[in-house]
Structure 1
Amino acid sequence: MGILYQAGDMSYWAIWLFVLFALMAFNEFGRTSKWGGITLFAIVPIVLTVFVWPTTAAPGNEYGTGTWFNWVKTYSALAGCLGFMALRFVHWKGADGKTHYLYEKKWALCFPPLILAINIAEAVIRDFQVFSWGLWEGGYVENLWTMSGPWNVMNGIAGILNIVTICGWFGIIISKDKTRDMIWPDMIWAWIIAYDFWNFAYTYNCISDHSAYCGLALLLSCTIPTFFIKRGAWLQHRAQTLALWIMFVMTVPQFADVLAPIPTTHNPAAFFVVSFIALASNVALAAYQFNKIRKNKLNPVKDELYADTSVYKKVVEENI
């Protein structure tokens, strides 16, 4: 028995690895091709919404995909993907005869942090909701196993801090290469890692026996490209891989429970430690960021907080 997970067959971890690379591959297809992105995040969801999901994600189904949370998460992730594509590609000819782009509008740059904050808030609400269920010994709700405990409150607070520390969105740019990626230079590794710890803890707490996929694999599928394929585009990677995964789960709901299950150990100590790490990392990030704001007399809404770092400067240099 492992510390976090127990799998009845090691071949399930091979399937897990396949899922990780499949998510990364489809993300690249959607990222590097405008029509690939339109197909994956507009055409395919419309077809699935009409012909598939009413059956596979019907309310009360045995795999738990028919909950309000799954439906809201699906469309909020897709909204993020399409909104980011609009920032990347929408343009028009102005009265001055020049070509203007949507990303040049300050109000349009408020969309990425807004959709991100909404997605985090949805999960924070879920953590607090699981705590309210009072399943201190664990149990099934909406056909998903979970265990209530102080970890839900700890991680809910971590998520709130993660929202508060979102910064620098007015510095979002569109890369000058042919892929025209949405680059957020101020979203440096410190925030990304704090987010990853928080989000993994959320999945471990609230979608426990699915978290090897929707937590560990899904987070790696956007974090790896951020550091090794296209730096600065984490939110774009995150939205696309999240949308891809949740569309797959809504279509094949039995995957994580029947076809390739990797359940957690159901150990309260594991829940506590995972959420403690998430809370500690987000407290540390918030403390560092607030101190930086105070010390440099920065406006956390208008200013980019990390413009003086080498990481920020390198991302900008690679994309202008």
Structure 2
Amino acid sequence: MLFQLYSSSAAMQLLGWILVFAGLILFNEIGRRTKIGGMIVFVIIPVILTVYFIAIQAGAFGGLSNPTRAYMNGWFHYFKLYAADIGCVGFMMIKYKWGLGKKEWFKWWPWFIVSANIMIANVSDLESAFAARGITGDFSGAWWASNEGVFIYGGWWNILNFIAGMINIFCMTGCVKLLTSNDKNKSDMLWPDMTIWFILAYDVWNFEYTYLNLPTHSWYCGVALLLAPTFANAFWNKGAWIQNRANTLAIWCMWAQVVPLFQLKGRFAAALPRIYGGATEAGITTMDLYEKAIAIFNAGDGKTVAANEAMAQMGITADPTAQGVVAIAAVVINVVCIMVIIKRSIKAGRNPYSNNVFEGTRDFEEAMARAER
């Protein structure tokens, strides 16, 4: 069991998950199907939110007490939102052939933006591993409190996931072989060579990243957020996974930035991962953990034994079993994926990054059947 779904809040947590999953799919469909929808979701709304964020910093809309400023004021949250949205706009430029989207060299943009996001996550994994090492002297595991108000249990699993993430970057093949879908509205930017091989390798790695580094958020941003684009790709939108992934990530970041208490407090507060052993039984909530963690971080003790002492006082015993198992799985699936890529590219005598590797596979051919010729 990855999450503690056996409390009196379990039914509402499951309902919250369904609402997030369905909402992400719905708004992705609005954003991808038409130019107007895309402009509204990924240009107009972000512009309005930017004005809102600036106004909050100036003291409007509650100022310091505004939930966005109180709970989501770190640079990482804003960076993730705008990085994801810039990716979405770039993908729109490619599929509609707007401006730079007409240029052949700009087709490297999706590979660049995905690689950059993977590297940011990889750095987070290393930070967590070495934060734990700074406390215990090794990578056996230790609690530390992040600037996002999260108790993180760093250790060797972060090192493994870092390795999986590095391999995952090289599992993106056919990077410039991007196409536009052949429907009337040209709804999708297609990356035909990004088949189920990469998608599964990415999903397992990225889930582990959220599970390790954003554990109190991973019920939503690790499970619902990853499954939404994968679900769409599997059933009606073959070949457009990366577009769906960027879209749903930007949509989730906008929602989480404006309504942070949705996952922190109340009936839909995120289910706690297994790592927080005994928390649910002790009545410890996601909000309890946030308040304690942010207090320790603000006191300058985030990467000291203070975090471990605080967890012990709350009666929480670290259970990193799931963290370790998923980290091993992430490495294995990414190694298998890169081995398949090497084998197929050698057999075809092709550079796997400037050429397609998975021609002839079902996923690739189904994506090509949707492409403009």
- TM-score, scaled to structure 2: 0.78
Offset of residue 104 of structure 1: 4.8
1:265-304: CA deviation from partner (whole Å, max 9, x where unpaired): 2121111011111111001111111122223221123211
Determine the structure 1 residue equivalent to 2:249. 242
Determine the structure 2 residue equivalent to 1:21. 22
Determine the structure 2 residue equivalent to 1:264. 273
Query: In structure 1, what is the Cα distance between the partners aligned to 2:123 and 2:329?
Result: 19
The answer to whether 1:105 aligns with 2:103 is: yes
Please provide the CA RMSD for this pair: 1.7
SS in 1 for 2:154: coil
Q: Aligned partner of 2:41: which letter?
A: L
**Aligned pairs for 1:96-135 within 5 A:** 103-134=101-132
Tell me which of 152, 161, 167 is aligned to 2:167.
161
Query: Which stretch shows the higher mean deviation, 25-34 or 293-302?
Result: 293-302
- 1:31 and 1:179 in contact (8 A); partners too: no
- 2:131 and 2:144 in contact (8 A); partners too: no
Determine the structure 1 residue equivalent to 2:233. 226
Offset of residue 170 of structure 1: 2.0
Query: In structure 2, what is the Cα distance between the partners aligned to 1:311 and 1:23?
Result: 23
Which 5+ residue runs of structure 1 have no aligned equivalent? Answer: 93-101
**Aligned pairs for 1:133-172 within 5 A:** 133-134=131-132, 136-142=141-147, 143-172=149-178
Larger Rg: 2
**Aligned pairs for 1:65-80 within 5 A:** 65-80=72-87
Determine the structure 1 residue equivalent to 2:200. 193
Query: In structure 2, what is the Cα distance between the partners aligned to 1:145 and 1:172?
Result: 40
1:197-245: CA deviation from partner (whole Å, max 9, x where unpaired): 0000000000001101001000111100001121100011000000000
Offset of residue 23 of structure 1: 0.6
1:149-179: CA deviation from partner (whole Å, max 9, x where unpaired): 1111100110111101111022110012123
Q: Aligned partner of 2:191: which letter?
A: W
- 2:217 and 2:263 in contact (8 A); partners too: yes
Query: In structure 1, what is the Cα distance between the partners aligned to 2:326 and 2:75?
Result: 26
The answer to whether 1:216 aligns with 2:223 is: yes
Query: Which stretch shows the higher mean deviation, 83-92 or 192-201?
Result: 83-92
Offset of residue 37 of structure 1: 1.2
Which 5+ residue runs of structure 2 have no aligned equivalent? Answer: 58-65, 136-140, 276-318
Q: Aligned partner of 1:18: which letter?
A: L
- TM-score, scaled to structure 1: 0.90
- 2:238 and 2:363 in contact (8 A); partners too: no
Determine the structure 2 residue equivalent to 1:253. 260
SS in 2 for 1:238: helix
- 2:182 and 2:370 in contact (8 A); partners too: no
1:15-52: CA deviation from partner (whole Å, max 9, x where unpaired): 11111001100100111121111111111111112214
Identity of aligned residues (%): 34
Offset of residue 193 of structure 1: 0.6
